[in-house]
A and B are shown apart, each in its own frame.
Chain A
């Protein structure tokens, strides 16, 4: 039975390899907790989450992440205002309206849009979008929440479009045929039958697009302006959690309070994106069950 033993060994080896994703995910959780939690020895939970001032290098330092948290949510909300209508409408166009040849052109183009590195979006934002925004609205600075939202919106579109498109094209043909048989035209069928049937998948797409926008780092670091204040309008510079980590980690001393505070921010960010992902997962499962 040497052969059987060898087979078994191979199977176990592959099983071991497949566990690595879990190991890495757990590793990330452990590192974030281990390096992030010590900050609560020097500041309270309430002060950390609801403190209005982020002055990590002052003496004594202030570690209030409220402006950063709100900054992240602010630009993400702005991004969704742009990305949801454009992304979902493009998805409907691709799956319901476009000629197969045009579809074969648009789909790869959207994949390419997803492939543009975030630092290039940031660069494009600095040299092209920011001056345009500044001139158009007559602002003192072009690097602000609006510019960041526009770019994050464009970056979230590929996620929203490709997942929505999958959901829309997986609506059973019989649904549409029933609608046509009742005398509805293509537009009425699309709006009243196809899109509502795909609503679960479209919501998943929007949630994942949101996760993409919240976690984006380089673009907001370069174009959002970087002021750690509570956002009150789209025309002011803001600073997100991701940008704070990226900008400040290089200058902190390993093991210092500031270092732990940045890991604690990363922990908040991780929990946020994890909940979005799990939410999207649950929605997908529900959606699948219902279509069956």
Chain B
């Protein structure tokens, strides 16, 4: 074997091992959470209230809280995001306005999540007077996932071929008729993927809801959008850092982490599968 071939062999080997290390990191996380979490999870754990100051019982309020927050976030962000994507891909001409909007979207995506939390605290909790509530937290999460939804919806709209639009316009349809009857129905599965990814992101975030929505312990389930809630991510954090019985709290945290990871990664996996299938099949 000559020296150039040896170099190639070693080089590719190094690249491959880097990829293997990255995969191992993912599997290590999933394995530890799953192996220890599964021992804790049973029907009672998922459907009962916590007992004895968070050292026993289930995590039902945290699961429900995450569910409510996510629904609230998506209800807010999906219409806004889809509308913005429609404007950017269907109506807007390249120019200063579009450039500014794009800068806004890109930079909003890069804002640290804890800063969203402060924004939510100042605007929704204090200024709007919603208090620490599902509504405040949901709106904050909604702003956080807006860029994700806009980008995914734009991608979905852009893959609809130009000829579809031209055919519709040639038949005398107006722009809006073309968009609502031709473009949107063909882009809907792509948009669905985007919103699913947004849901996954919203369900897993902790910092934005830290001062806008959550409480460590509530004796009752939330009654309205103005109630404060427990949430899975915050529950894990609180179990690990607060309280005085780590030996009882850590197993519960394992269980909650497994529920959260399965929820978020399950959601992501569904989105990835839908998207890949959609990309492959639609060749028009």
B123, A85: Cβ atoms closer than 8 Å: no
A97, B12: Cβ atoms closer than 8 Å: yes
| A122-B237, A124-B29, A128-B32 as given contacts; A14 in contact with B18, CB under 8 Å | no
Answer whether residue A18 sits at the interface, using C-beta atoms and an 8 A cutoff. yes
Chain A interface mostly helix, strand, loop or mixed? helix
The number of inter-chain residue pairs (CB within 8 angstroms) is: 261
User: Digit string of A123-160 for contact with B (CB within 8 Å is 1, else 0)?
Assistant: 11011100000000000000000000000001001000
Contact of A215 among B111, B118, B211, B233 (CB under 8 A): B111
B268, A97: Cβ atoms closer than 8 Å: no
Nearest residue, chain B, Cβ from A254: B126
Contacts of B7 in A (CB 8 A): 187
Contacts of B119 in A (CB 8 A): 24, 27-28, 31-32
A7, B22: Cβ atoms closer than 8 Å: no
User: 25 A-B pairs, CB-CB below 8 angstroms?
Assistant: A7-B174, A14-B83, A18-B88, A20-B84, A89-B18, A113-B26, A117-B205, A119-B234, A120-B204, A120-B236, A123-B237, A124-B33, A126-B240, A127-B250, A157-B25, A187-B4, A191-B11, A214-B112, A216-B112, A217-B113, A217-B206, A218-B207, A266-B114, A277-B107, A278-B107
Answer whether residue A100 sits at the interface, using C-beta atoms and an 8 A cutoff. no
A246, B265: Cβ atoms closer than 8 Å: no
Distance of B110 from chain A, by nearest CB (Å): 4
| Known interface pairs A21-B147, A31-B122, A215-B113; 9 further A-B residue pairs with C-beta atoms within 8 A, sorted by A's residue number | A17-B80, A24-B119, A25-B104, A110-B22, A115-B268, A117-B260, A118-B205, A266-B115, A269-B115
Answer whether residue A281 sits at the interface, using C-beta atoms and an 8 A cutoff. yes
Q: For the side of the interface on B, what is the size category? A: 35 or more
A117, B108: Cβ atoms closer than 8 Å: no
A18, B241: Cβ atoms closer than 8 Å: no
A21, B146: Cβ atoms closer than 8 Å: yes
A222, B240: Cβ atoms closer than 8 Å: yes
A22, B114: Cβ atoms closer than 8 Å: no
Contacts of B201 in A (CB 8 A): 115
Answer whether residue A35 sits at the interface, using C-beta atoms and an 8 A cutoff. yes
Give the complex CA separation of A262 and B211 in angstroms.
13
Answer whether residue B21 sits at the interface, using C-beta atoms and an 8 A cutoff. yes
Instruction: Give residues 251-269 of A contacting B (CB, 8 Å).
Output: 254, 262-263, 266, 269
User: Digit string of B173-208 for contact with A (CB within 8 Å is 1, else 0)?
Assistant: 011100000000000000000000000110111110
Answer whether residue B171 sits at the interface, using C-beta atoms and an 8 A cutoff. no
Answer whether residue A236 sits at the interface, using C-beta atoms and an 8 A cutoff. no
Give the complex CA separation of A118 and B114 in angstroms.
12
Instruction: Give residues 77-131 of B contacting A (CB, 8 Å).
Output: 79-80, 83-84, 86-88, 90-92, 100-101, 103-108, 110-119, 121-123, 126
Distance of A92 from chain B, by nearest CB (Å): 5
Instruction: Give residues 21-43 of B contacting A (CB, 8 Å).
Output: 21-23, 25-26, 28-29, 32-33
Contacts of A250 in B (CB 8 A): 210-211
B143, A24: Cβ atoms closer than 8 Å: yes
Contacts of B23 in A (CB 8 A): 106, 109
Nearest 4 pairs of A and B residues by beta carbon: A215-B112, A117-B204, A89-B18, A17-B83
